[in-house]
Structure 1
Amino acid sequence: MAASDDELPEVARIAADLIRIDTSNFGGGDARGEREAAEYVGAYLAGLGLDCVYYEPIERRTNVMARVPGRDASKPALVVHGHLDVVPAMAEEWSVDPFAGVIKDGMLWGRGAVDMKNMDAMILTSVADLLRAGEQPERDLVLAFFADEENGGVEGSALVVREHPEWFDGATEAISEVGGYSIPIAGKRAYLLQVGEKALLWIRLVAHGRAGHGSRLHPENAVTRLAEAVAALGRTQWPVRLTDTTRALLSGLADLSGIDADDPDALASAAGPAEAFLRSTFRTTTNPTLLSAGYKHNVIPARAEALIDVRVLPGAEDDVLAQIQQIVGDDIEIEMVVRDIGMETPFTGDLVEAMVGSLARHDPGVPVIPYLLGAGTDNKALSTLGITGYGFAPLRLPDDLDFTGMFHGVDERVPVDSLVFGQRVLTDLLRTY
């Protein structure tokens, strides 16, 4: 049964409002709604008595920031950030309107419910919890909401940190998306805290041939050459390569599951719906995502191209690119579209202890395990300013919900109760750290 907005906790209402602002980012500068979303966020923060700063380096690609004074000015500031854009949604594939912010079955449905308007709403309402109660956070908070994260941040956070580094004066650490959520492990619950990210390499494969009539014998066909290269790369099984973080993850999985195995994939299978998400963190991934060639059925084109989403363990970028060239062959050109760094931070320190402590106060006795994100966040851009970023969007989730599978997926949804839990944990962290 659907619930009306008036019956919802504020965090769910805010998340639903943001979902209803279509901020689809198609890449290559083709985006919508980011200004409207930033203005919504700015109006909410202004209603809390905060001064907002907007930065729109490209028309309608809007970023917004506000600073919340803390109790202890001697402590470094903490950046709490989110992005306002989402990947597009093909409405015909969904069981609900992806931009209607539907509430049903105790869940909020829509594009951004998982990635990451849920966290945006948690940030806003957690700050509201403190300020409405007449409290201050322990330290200054820099609240930043970026455009263009779903296109690698090249027209969002990357421009903000380059043109307005003063937004982040005094900050040394940051928290954002894709961490702090629960997973089931052999009938037990554990939380994953993100302490690193794989590097991002978005490449274009280009094949050249000779144009001609579609009816003729034609061995120099660019489409055929490209198809062979794409198939070879897409079917490549990259070897396991562990890091300090993934070794710690596997140790935690082994302890909780009781599985005694040297095979990382076998251990990941204990994580239920999160298995595929975790397995991608053990190795390079090279996934074809788009093909483009030709303009008419009976014309053989002279050029064909494909986009490949490559995610690489930190430090392996150049080696992987060389291997990709060997796989696709020397007659295939590789063009770099977006390249961004990988990161890995030890699972230690005051902020890590504070995040673990906040979860423990709201879900006592449940372990927290570090992991390396197979994707990327705007923490990459902040790292260029020396700011160490973590993924901490705390959610206590049902064991049977394939949460990680809904990132960029169909029928994206999050339980309302999970949002309320996350808001409470995040408020606790901002109050005490």
Structure 2
Amino acid sequence: MTEPAAVGAMVQPEDEAHLDGRALDESVAFTSDLIRFDTTNRGLGEGHERPAAEYAAERLAEAGLAPHVLEKAPGRTNVVARIAGHDPGAPALLVHGHLDVVPAQPADWTVHPFSGEIRDGVVWGRGAVDMKNADAMVLAVVRAWARAGVRPRRDIVLAFTADEEDSAAYGSGFLVQEHAVLFEGCTEAIGESGAFTFHPGDGNRVYPVAAGERGTAWMRLTAHGRAGHGSKRNAENAVSRLAAAVHRIGEHRWPVRLTPVTRAALLALCELRGLPCPDLDAVARIGEAHLDQEIDSLLDELGPYAELIAATVRNSANPTMLDAGYKVNVIPGSATAHVDGRTLPGTEEEFAATLDELTGPDVEWSYQHHQIPLLAPVNSRSFAVLRDALEHFDPGAKVVPYCMSGGTDAKQFSRLGVQSYGFTPLRLPEGFDYGRMFHGVDERVPVQALHFGTRVLDRALRSL
């Protein structure tokens, strides 16, 4: 596999003797405790992260830190704290994780989603992987540092945020807009997702580290027409106009658009799969249709490996909500729909122009929530440090870059000039479907995965 080149000298941390059994136990206990706080984010401002935020602030205060507890609205609570590094000339590092979770229906679960139950070596509950596990591991690491007198190389700013599962208006967006001074000096960040074990089924243990995110383009479509009686023909039926536009959007095939991160991922995955990787630039010069065909063929050949990149070779737009009418025999004067769009770096103008074409003259559309796509370099010293930390604790690890199909708080922090990597390390057993755990039923995380992640985070954060 082609290795990303390290920029600058790799600083190896001191030994890990300070990371005692207590720290590993705390990573598990804190995960369980945080899950028991019902921090469900139902959108439209409805959420309550305060209990989990106060819990995190208390654990930080016990470690000698001075956390800031900040709210834009009652109950929508964030926590920010800074750990002083030993190199005053080094830029600061941001480590962020969100405290809110998506809704869960207890009747659908094997265990109650807010029980935090530990059963057969597994911690169960909403947030076990998204992402109270990461919050817990960070808390466990910084408390171990405090007990042993360990200091990281650079200042580390910790941010535990509200509202990531909606618009971030009460969380990272609020912090960036109103409390940017707390992030002074931060140039890089470690955040959500990435660095989990992906098992393609051939014996390889692949760890995708996120170095990019697609942009968020949540849209509202509105069709206007002529209201009337349901028994009469109506050529200006708003519901028909909307349905036609939604159908066109749902059926549209977006063209391939390869980012530097996805190109690097393709090269790495082809090498792991033992496939020759085509000269993608040469293919693209032949024509867009040829590139589309080549990429689709390559994804087929990659088999299970394609799961890591298939969603990020194109933009996407998926209709998700419809709202029209109030009585079966009344044609309404307007109808609305919502579409979840995701955009790759450098494609936003193309995306908007395509939506104009697909909606047509009878349907208006606008962004309901719009955030930019992100890219981080995969040939950086930081990426090399993250790779080293994973390989140190799993010598068989195959570390590859990838772009996340969705978005995180990193989008908000990028407004401060902070470049982010998705890095929540977990060594997972084969057959554990990590991707399905996100926002899914029976979300859970193995205890041993938390222990592994805590060790990896400790090494990475002291080395970065």
Q: Shared fold (TM-score greater than 0.5)?
A: yes
Are positions 1:372 and 2:403 aligned together? Answer: yes
Give the alignment of 1:384-403 within 5 angstroms: 384-403=415-434
Do 2:254 and 2:316's aligned partners in 1 also have CA atoms closer than 8 Å? yes
Give the alignment of 1:98-109 within 5 angstroms: 98-109=113-124
Do 1:197 and 1:374's aligned partners in 2 also have CA atoms closer than 8 Å? yes
- Which segment drifts farther, 403-412 or 90-99? 90-99
Report the CA distance shift for 1:425/1:303 in structure 2 as closer, same or farther (over 3 A). same
The equivalent of 2:359 in structure 1 is 328
Do 1:193 and 1:371's aligned partners in 2 also have CA atoms closer than 8 Å? yes
Do 1:54 and 1:65's aligned partners in 2 also have CA atoms closer than 8 Å? yes
Are positions 1:283 and 2:317 aligned together? Answer: no
The equivalent of 1:46 in structure 2 is 61
Do 1:129 and 1:427's aligned partners in 2 also have CA atoms closer than 8 Å? no
* Aligned match for 1:409, one of 440, 445, 449: 440
Q: Which amino acid is the alignment partner of residue 85 of structure 1?
A: D
The separation in 2 between residues aligned to 1:295 and 1:261, in whole angstroms, is: 55
- Which segment drifts farther, 315-324 or 100-109? 100-109
Report the CA distance shift for 1:102/1:265 in structure 2 as closer, same or farther (over 3 A). farther
Offset at 1:126?
Answer: 1.4
Offset at 1:266?
Answer: 5.3
* Aligned match for 1:114, one of 119, 122, 129: 129
Q: Which amino acid is the alignment partner of residue 48 of structure 1?
A: A
Offset at 1:245?
Answer: 1.0
**Secondary structure of the residue that 1:183 maps to in structure 2?**
coil
**Secondary structure of the residue that 1:245 maps to in structure 2?**
helix
Q: TM-score scaled to structure 1, two decimals?
A: 0.92
* Aligned match for 2:100, one of 67, 85, 88: 85
The separation in 1 between residues aligned to 2:263 and 2:269, in whole angstroms, is: 10
The separation in 2 between residues aligned to 1:29 and 1:277, in whole angstroms, is: 32
For residues 97-145 of structure 1, give each alpha carbon's deviation from its aligned partner in whole angstroms, at most 9, with x where no partner exists. Answer: 2222233343222221121111111111111221122222222110001
Offset at 1:428?
Answer: 1.2
Do 1:273 and 1:402's aligned partners in 2 also have CA atoms closer than 8 Å? no
Give the alignment of 1:15-414 within 5 angstroms: 15-31=31-47, 33-185=48-200, 186-260=202-276, 263-265=294-296, 267-268=298-299, 275-276=306-307, 278-414=309-445
Report the CA distance shift for 1:274/1:206 in structure 2 as closer, same or farther (over 3 A). farther
- Which segment drifts farther, 300-309 or 92-101? 92-101
Do 1:183 and 1:272's aligned partners in 2 also have CA atoms closer than 8 Å? no
* Aligned match for 1:12, one of 23, 28, 32: 28
Q: Which amino acid is the alignment partner of residue 196 of structure 2?
A: Y
Q: Which amino acid is the alignment partner of residue 377 of structure 1?
A: T
Offset at 1:49?
Answer: 1.5
Structure 1 unmatched ranges of 5 or more: 1-5
Report the CA distance shift for 1:429/1:16 in structure 2 as closer, same or farther (over 3 A). same
The separation in 2 between residues aligned to 1:326 and 1:222, in whole angstroms, is: 18
Report the CA distance shift for 1:163/1:371 in structure 2 as closer, same or farther (over 3 A). same
How many residue pairs get aligned? The number is 426
- RMSD of equivalent CA atoms: 2.2
Do 1:184 and 1:272's aligned partners in 2 also have CA atoms closer than 8 Å? no
Report the CA distance shift for 1:315/1:296 in structure 2 as closer, same or farther (over 3 A). same
Offset at 1:273?
Answer: 6.4
The separation in 2 between residues aligned to 1:303 and 1:16, in whole angstroms, is: 47
Report the CA distance shift for 1:331/1:92 in structure 2 as closer, same or farther (over 3 A). farther
For residues 59-107 of structure 1, give each alpha carbon's deviation from its aligned partner in whole angstroms, at most 9, with x where no partner exists. Answer: 2221110111222222211111111111222334333322222333432
The equivalent of 2:15 in structure 1 is none
Higher share of residues assigned strand: 1
Offset at 1:404?
Answer: 1.5
The equivalent of 1:3 in structure 2 is none
**Secondary structure of the residue that 1:256 maps to in structure 2?**
helix
Offset at 1:223?
Answer: 2.4
The separation in 2 between residues aligned to 1:56 and 1:415, in whole angstroms, is: 33
- Which segment drifts farther, 159-168 or 99-108? 99-108
Structure 2 unmatched ranges of 5 or more: 1-21, 279-293
**Secondary structure of the residue that 1:203 maps to in structure 2?**
strand
The separation in 2 between residues aligned to 1:171 and 1:65, in whole angstroms, is: 13
- Which segment drifts farther, 415-424 or 203-212? 203-212
The separation in 2 between residues aligned to 1:19 and 1:271, in whole angstroms, is: 37
